[in-house]
Structure formats: structure tokens, C-alpha cells
Amino acid sequence: WQLQAPLIAEINRLKRDMNAVILAHNYMTPEIFHGVGDYVGDSLGLAREAAKSKADIIVQGGVHFMAETSKILAPEKTVLIPDLRAGCSLASSLTGDQLRLIKQRYPGLPVVTYVNTTADVKAETDICCTSANAVQVVEHIAKEWGVDRVIMVPDEFLARNVARQTNIGIIAYKGACEVHERFDASDIADVRAAHPGAIVLGHPECPPDVIAACDFTGSTTAMIDYVTDHKPKQVVLVTECSMADNVAADVEGVEFLRPCNLCPHMKRITLDGIYQSLLHRQYEVTVDPAIIDKARLAVQRMIDMPP
Ligand code: 13P
Ligand code: SF4
């Protein structure tokens, strides 16, 4: 990616001139992650950064729901996404209308919504969560409401993985991440047979039998931290492929094994797209102010949660 140095330098110059920052998700390619990202991290980290950024413009190195979350937390800023087609199978699995119907079926139960959702869905939500804090959020809101069950949408596998770690009952929905649902427990068995000492880390959007076969599960940043802290000789990151490329540049002596899958939505964000985005101030992500007001309560409640 160092071959891209002239374009990287031009993007970094434009950023300074425009008082813009690039918030880059851990699934961005290395030239974005290492070359132009002002802040790199998981969904929770990106949301926190959007809320406190002093920039006038946020360019989202990530998918549409992440840009919407930035706009919800920083409505006075211009939020740009380099490609409007960068969606997410989880975000498109549930609408605000559908969530209203689910709530009618379970009156009196709080709704915990994964941030991988549209602003409309967040506006119908009591508290958001990410993969970094899902168990903590479920337990926090159940205690606050004095209930022993919560509704958790839209990721069925995340909900089932959380259910294994808490006594709170979880009413799940049927959404899935098209990238993580493709992993199979046999993939883990195969890699363990071929590399008996390898450490296997899995993202909680994977099916529960895959996570049960892993050594560790956590958000994308938690997985990166595990590798940098423990420096295993061989490791498998059961998640999006750019993760291994990005960490590999920072740690020596760690061999990254397969499987991994590509997220076609994340891969729509390219270095050239980011350059064009800054140059032409495109594509602006807007959210209806009435929706922002409702959705912000749910996102802010998550961010303000005691550690
Ligand atoms: P993280 O919040 O763990 O970065 O996950 C976001 C995501 O889209 C994973 O597929
Ligand atoms: Fe959505 Fe899955 Fe892509 Fe993450 S990896 S953005 S959850 S489709």
C-alpha cells in the first residue's frame, strides 16, 4: 500500500485544509486503515469518536449505518460516505415498521438494538449495543427496567451468543451478517487439525457453534488487541479478511491463517473513493431531524453506560 503514497499524501492534505477527519473501521483495507484513517476502530470506538470530534466534516470509512450513527451523534457536522451502496445485510434485514410490530407482541420489554441498523430502527429502540458491549448492555437495561427478558434485534447469532453469557432471556430476530453466517464449525475443526497450536478468534456475528469452537470472541478491536497483546505464533481471525492484513502490519512473528471472508459492502470504500469524497464533498448522509432526536437517545444511552 506504500505505492499509494502520493494519493495518501493528497488525501491527508485535503483533510487538513477542510478540517475533515476520516473515521475508518477495522475492515478497511490497509492503505485506508494505516494511510489515511485519523481514527481506526470498531463500531463502538467510531461512534465515540464521532461524538467528540472537533472536525467540520466526517468521512466515514465504513458502511452506511456507521455514517448514520455519526450523523445521529454529530448532527451539526457534514457526514460523507464515499459510496452510498456500502450497505449491510443486518441493517437491511429490519425496518422501523417491523420493529414496531415486534414491540407490540412483547409489551413492557426493552428493545436492545445492534448498531448495525438504520436510523429508523434506532428511533424505535431503548438502547443500542455493539459487539463490544452487548452482554453488558443487555444486563444493564434488564436491571434498569426490572425485567428478566429483553428483545434483541436484528442479529440472531449475536443474540444467541449473548444468551450463552447471561441469565437474561433474549427474544431474538432472524437477521444475519452475510459475511459471518458463512463460517461453519467444520472450518474451525479443519484449521485445528492442520495447525494444532493455532489460536482461533471469532466475531460474535458468527453462528454459535462456530463461536463455541473458538478460543476467544469479541469485537473487531478486541480481536486486534488480543493479537497485539498475546502475539500467538499462529492465529485465525474468523471475520473479515482485511483484519488480518491490518494487524499483520503492526505485529511481527505472527502467522495469520485462513478462513476469512470479504465484506462486499466494506470493500466498496476505496482510497480513490475517499479522495473523490473529499474533493467533491460527496456523498452527504442526512437523517430526518425528528428521527435523529429519537435515535440519539438510544445511542447516547449506550455511550453513557457506566464501564
Ligand atoms: P465491530 O463493532 O466489532 O467492529 O463489528 C462491526 C461489523 O460490522 C462486523 O461485521
Ligand atoms: Fe454488515 Fe456483515 Fe459487512 Fe459487518 S461484515 S458491515 S455486519 S455485512
pLDDT at 139 over 90: yes
Question: 91-177 with 185-262: one CATH topology?
Answer: yes
Q: What is the mean pLDDT of residues 25-40?
A: 98
Q: Does ligand 2 have an atom closer than 6 angstroms to the CB of 66?
A: no
Question: 2-87+267-286 is classed in which CATH architecture?
Answer: 3-Layer(aba) Sandwich (3.40)
Residue ranges of domains in the chain = 2-87+267-286, 91-177, 185-262
Q: Tell me the mean pLDDT in the region 98-112.
A: 98
**ipTM higher than threshold 0.90:** yes
pLDDT tens, position by position, 288-302: 999 999 999 999 999
CATH number of 185-262: 3.40.50.10800
Share of the chain above pLDDT 70, in %: 100
Which atom of ligand 1 is closest in space to residue 222's alpha carbon?
3
Alpha helices in the chain (DSSP H): 5-18, 30-33, 43-52, 64-73, 96-105, 119-123, 134-145, 156-163, 185-194, 208-212, 220-230, 242-248, 271-280, 289-303
Average pLDDT, the chain: 98
Contact 204/211 with Cβ under 8 angstroms?
yes
The answer to whether 25 is a known ligand-binding residue is yes
Mean pLDDT computed over 93-118: 98
pLDDT at 3: 82
Q: What residue's CA is closest to ligand 1, atom 6?
A: 43
Tell me, which fold does domain 91-177 have in CATH?
Rossmann fold (3.40.50)
**Over residues 69-88, mean pLDDT:** 98
How would DSSP label each residue in 132-149? TTHHHHHHHHHHHHT-SE
Which pLDDT score is estimated for 306? 76
- Which residue's alpha carbon is at the smallest distance from atom 6 of ligand 2? 88
Q: Quick one: pLDDT at residue 154?
A: 99
> pTM of the full predicted structure?
0.98
88 among annotated binding-site residues: yes
Point out the ligand nearest to the CA of residue 204: 1
